[in-house]
A and B are shown apart, each in its own frame.
Chain A
Amino acid sequence: MSAVGGGWAPRGLAVLALILLNACVATGVGVDGAVGVDYDAGYYEPWGYDYGGWGHGYRVGPGRGDDHRRDGDHPHGDAGPRGDHPSRPYRPAPASRPTPSIPSRPRGH
């Protein structure tokens, strides 16, 4: 009889643990890939840095598809066997390709 009574507590604890685990999955607590119930992508940047002060000629925008590539050392495009270039950490697009611009087609056309 005591075995019957003693069996309830572990089973109850197991059920409670499952419920709590389910709640954690549903709320995203500690589980990568969980359904988000609150928004956690809000990220504040550190305080006190300078976002202005661009000097003359400092340009960050796209061109119109007719921009000059940087002169130099990859006149025939990709260099190494994998396309790597010794002077750059990235693999530059072949020099024969013009620098693309942003989409020009208006919505609805």
Chain B
Amino acid sequence: MSSSIPRRRSSLQRLAALLLPVICFSVSRAASFELPPLNAPPSTEHHVGKVVWADLVTPDLGAAERFYGGLFGWTFQSVHTGSSDYAVALANGRPVGGLFQKSIPAGEHRQSAWLTFIAVPDVDAAKRAALAHGAKAVTGIRNYPLRGRQTVLSDPEGAVFAILASSSGDAPDFLAAPGEWIWSSLLSRNAGAEAAFYQQVFSYDVFDLASDDGLEHVILSSDDFARASVNAMPGDPARRHAHWLNFIRVDNTVDMVAKAVASGGRVLVEPHVDRHGGQVAVVADPAGAPFGLMEWTSSDSKAEPK
């Protein structure tokens, strides 16, 4: 009997010795998922309120890569671990966004979409401020050491966006090159109330614009640059919901719309002249995710469009 205790202890120790490496290996394997930094080499700049990233959620990563790669010449860097299939999109070798494959449960309809990431210095503080002013948490806060700390929120009208404290700083304020994100717009029911919310969270300067459509349009600004617009939604509000819409710079909107349609996309808003004098349009990718196209050339007319 007295010799059975040491034997039992010894067998338990052996079992623990066997289990521990297995568990530790599983944990370390699970923790190895890593997203690349937004900026390489890192930037020393920080631009609160700047739209610094966008992630597409799609049920078919391969189809999305073919569509966006064919349209804008993006290349892709795969990040696959565990249950996540993710690809970083590169324009001219620079990361511009992510494509994330997520299945849609059978029998459910969901709208594929681009998620807009706004820069903050402190995700926890920004999340607290957002929740205090009517936002809701969509996900918890997550750390991706090379990318940064992020979380997803919905604003008081339900428009979903993310906040990100980038580990590699924020990119300097350059004019976007063709194939890169150039502009972001929020479409909402009450543009003034939404502008107030974003001003509370990101300390934006807010500029109200004259418009000839009878609807409210404002510009959100930080560092004396326009970062985004907030716009009262046109048409029947019952058929619309608040959402962010991001625009990619193109050389020729009409040509790119035709190319998008030929690649399986569809037109949501036909090309037309916008405030800056260049053409914009809104299209949907083959999975239905809406995004904008925007010309921006130095020769665009500064005259108000007719």
Could you tell me which A residues sit within 8 Å of B by CB distance?
Answer: 1, 4-5, 8, 12, 15, 19, 22-23, 26-28, 31-64, 66-71, 88-93, 97, 99-107
Scan residues 185-231 of chain B and give those whose CB is less than 8 A from a CB of chain A: 185, 187, 192-193, 195-196, 199, 205-213, 215, 217-219, 221, 224-226, 229, 231
Chain B interface (Cβ < 8 Å from any Cβ of A): 1-2, 5, 8-9, 12, 16, 20, 23, 26-28, 30-33, 35, 55, 57, 81-84, 86, 100, 102, 104, 109-113, 115, 124, 138-145, 149-150, 152, 160, 162, 173-177, 182-183, 185, 187, 192-193, 195-196, 199, 205-213, 215, 217-219, 221, 224-226, 229, 231, 234-236, 239-241, 243, 245, 247, 267-269, 272, 274-278, 280, 282, 284, 290, 294, 296, 300, 302, 305
Chain A residues within an 8 Å CB radius of B30: 23, 26-27, 37
Report 20 cross-chain contacts, Cβ distance below 8 Å, ordered by A residue.
A15-B16, A23-B30, A27-B27, A33-B141, A34-B140, A36-B142, A37-B81, A38-B82, A45-B111, A45-B243, A47-B109, A58-B213, A58-B231, A59-B213, A61-B276, A64-B277, A93-B205, A100-B224, A100-B225, A105-B175
Cα A54 to Cα B292 with chains together (Å): 13
* A19 and B23 contact, CB distance less than 8 A: yes
A67: chain B residues at CB < 8 Å are 207, 209-210, 219, 275
Cβ-neighbour of A43 out of B83, B113, B241, B290 (below 8 A): B113
Q: Are A102 and B217 in contact (CB under 8 A)?
A: no
> Which chain A residue lies CB-closest to B102?
A42
Chain B residues, CB < 8 A from A92: 206-208
Contact residues in A for B113 (Cβ distance below 8 Å): 43-45
A12, B195: Cβ atoms under 8 Å?
A: no
CB distance from A72 to the nearest CB of B (A): 8
Give bound CA distance, A42 to B296, whole Å. 30
**A26 to chain B: which residues have CB within 8 Å?**
27-28, 30-31
Q: How many angstroms between the C-alpha atoms of A69 and B275 in the bound complex?
A: 13
Of residues B28, B208, B268, B282, which shows the largest number of chain A Cβ atoms within 10 Å of its Cβ? B208
Interchain residue pairs A-B with the least CB separation, the first 3: A44-B110, A52-B268, A47-B109
* In the complex with contacts A43-B57, A64-B302, A107-B175, A33-B124 CB distance below 8 A: yes
Asked if B226 and A101 make an inter-chain contact with CB atoms under 8 angstroms apart, the answer reads: yes
**Smallest CB–CB gap between B7 and chain A, Å?**
11
User: Are the CB atoms of A61 and B247 closer together than 8 Å?
Assistant: yes
On whether A49 and B111 interact (CB within 8 A), knowing A36-B144, A60-B217, the answer reads: yes
Contacts of B284 in A (CB 8 A): 51
A34, A69, A92: residue with the most chain B Cβ atoms closer than 10 Å: A92
Identify B282's interface contact among A45, A46, A52, CB under 8 A.
A52
The answer for the CA separation of A34 and B277 in the assembled complex, in Å, is: 46
Residue of A35, A49, A66, A99 near B207 (CB, 8 A) is A99
Contact A103 B282 (CB under 8 A): no
Chain A residues lying within 8 Å of B225, measured Cβ to Cβ, are 100-103
Whether A88 lies near B229 (C-beta < 8 A) is: no
Residues A43 and B276 in contact in the complex (CB < 8 Å), given A27-B27, A36-B142, A61-B247 = no
Nearest CB on B from A85, distance (A)? 10
Task: Kindly report which residue of chain B lies nearest to residue A109, judged by CB atoms.
Answer: B174
User: Are B221 and A93 in contact, CB atoms less than 8 angstroms apart?
Assistant: yes
CA distance A41 to B153 in the complex (A): 10
Contact between A93 and B207, CB atoms less than 8 A apart: yes
Whole-angstrom CA separation of A12 from B8 in the bound complex: 13
Q: Does the CB pair A59–B305 fall under 8 Å?
A: yes
Using Cβ atoms and an 8 Å threshold, which residues of chain A touch B141?
32-33
A8 to B8 CA separation, bound complex (whole angstroms)? 10
Residue of A nearest to B59 (CB): A44
- Smallest distance from the beta carbon of A20 to chain B beta carbons, Å? 9
B213 pairs with A90, CB closer than 8 A: no
